Amino acid sequence: MHLVYDVAPEDNGKTALELLRQRLNFSAAAAKRVRLHGQLLCNGLPIRMIDPVPAGGKLDIIHEAPEQECDLTFPPQVGDIRLLWQDSAFLIVDKPAGMLTHPNYIGETHNLLSWLNPGLHPVTRLDRDTSGLIIMARNAYIHSCFTQKPMEKYYLGVVHGQLAASSGCIDLPIGRAEGSIIERKVSPEGRPSLTEYEVLADGLTPSGERLQLVRFHLLTGRTHQIRVHCAYLGHPLVGDTLYGHHDSARTAEDLRLGRQALHAWSLRIQHPMSSQVLVCRCRLPQDMEQLLEACQLDFLPAAPVREALFTDELTLT
């Protein structure tokens, strides 16, 4: 990626590194990639990161080698992956359940990067069996910009039982479970973890079990945060085999879905280049829609209109 920065009078004498970090929102890692793999020019001449830059100068930053970027234009759908937004900076895609975000240590190829392009940089990630929205930056610089801008993430999930209140905030620290590299648990030694929730619908299944459709707002981003919080409260996500019902305790609804009933539904972000506000909403996938229909859940009066769950939305302001 080629960036150009016109040095302002107040930046006179600052080093190139200071301008990258302070004015262009480069992370330390991204600045290092410029130094190792890119080019840095002032008024057309090569300079070092530690060199001062004069006011009125033009700073050219060649951010990384071409093979580390992705400038392809993608069709609206690639395999089972739907593209809801794409421009020169990033993509927003709808990841299907059952697909990894990126290759794992054994090299599974059924992942977003293998299907789309290895040069993309996942800004957000989802568990294999969680569906929904993921942001993919086209290069490391855009990825770095996203980490320094606010982001609101909302999920939809179906839980067993009835939560104690129709809305609230779950404030329980989460840490790694002993003897596991995957499983997490609520622990006093864990990291602060905050999940806001609101019940949107509830009802009884044909077998008489109560289920609730819940909207979750992540205020922190811990691994498996929603799944761990729900399980700790005694209301695990339907279909969650790690934190929910096991073996003979699995219900018909657990078996019907075959994966945790969790969908990354909505994102509110600032565009990394223009700072415009982008809101993207992604409709519920077919398997969760069928689960709601089979259970005949009744929507609460304060819940969003039902159609909002089954349609996409994209606004830029």
pLDDT per residue as tens digits for the range 190-227: 999 999 999 999 988 888 889 999 999 999 999 999 99
pLDDT at 65: 56
**Catalytic member of 94, 127, 240, 254:** 127
Taken in order 298, 257, 220, 94, the sign of the CA dihedral is negative
Residues 8 and 83 both lie in one domain: no
Residue 127 annotated as catalytic:
yes
Q: Which of 68, 95, 110 is the last residue of a domain?
A: 68
pLDDT at 264: 97
pLDDT at 313: 93
Q: Which of 146, 174, 192 is the last residue of a domain?
A: 146
pLDDT at 298: 84
Residues 192 and 112 both lie in one domain: no
Residues 27 and 115 both lie in one domain: no
pLDDT at 302: 66
Range of the domain at 267: 151-316
Measured at the CA of 262, the angle between CA 259 and CA 266, to 5 degrees, comes to 150
* Residues of the chain below pLDDT 70: 64-69, 105-107, 302-305
Which residues, other chains included, contact 160 with Cβ-Cβ below 8 Å and sequence gap of 6+? 209, 210, 211, 235, 236, 237, 238, 244, 245, 251
pLDDT at 188: 94
Q: What is the CATH number of the domain that holds 127?
A: 3.30.70.580
Q: Count CB-CB contacts under 10 A for residue 295.
A: 25
pLDDT at 68: 60
| CB half-sphere exposure, 217, CA atoms < 13 A | 11
pLDDT at 69: 66
Please count the helices (runs of H) and the strands (runs of E) in the chain: 7, 19
Residues 237 and 307 both lie in one domain: yes
Segment holding 313, helix H or strand E: strand 313-316
Residues 46 and 97 both lie in one domain: no
pTM of the complete model beyond 0.75: yes
pLDDT at 304: 65
Distance CA 3, CA 6 (A): 10
pLDDT at 4: 86
Residues 93 and 192 both lie in one domain: no
Q: What is the CATH number of the domain that holds 195?
A: 3.30.2350.10
Distance CA 164, CA 155 (A): 19
Residues 273 and 241 both lie in one domain: yes
CB under 8 Å, gap of 24 or more: what pairs does 125-129 form? 125/101, 126/95, 126/101, 126/264, 127/224, 127/260, 127/262, 128/97, 128/98, 128/99, 128/100, 129/97, 129/98, 129/239, 129/259, 129/260
pLDDT at 300: 82
Residues 194 and 224 both lie in one domain: yes
- Number of separate domains in the chain: 3
**Alpha-carbon distances of 99 from 91, 103, 115, 279, 285, rounded to whole Å:** 17, 10, 10, 24, 14
Residues 182 and 273 both lie in one domain: yes
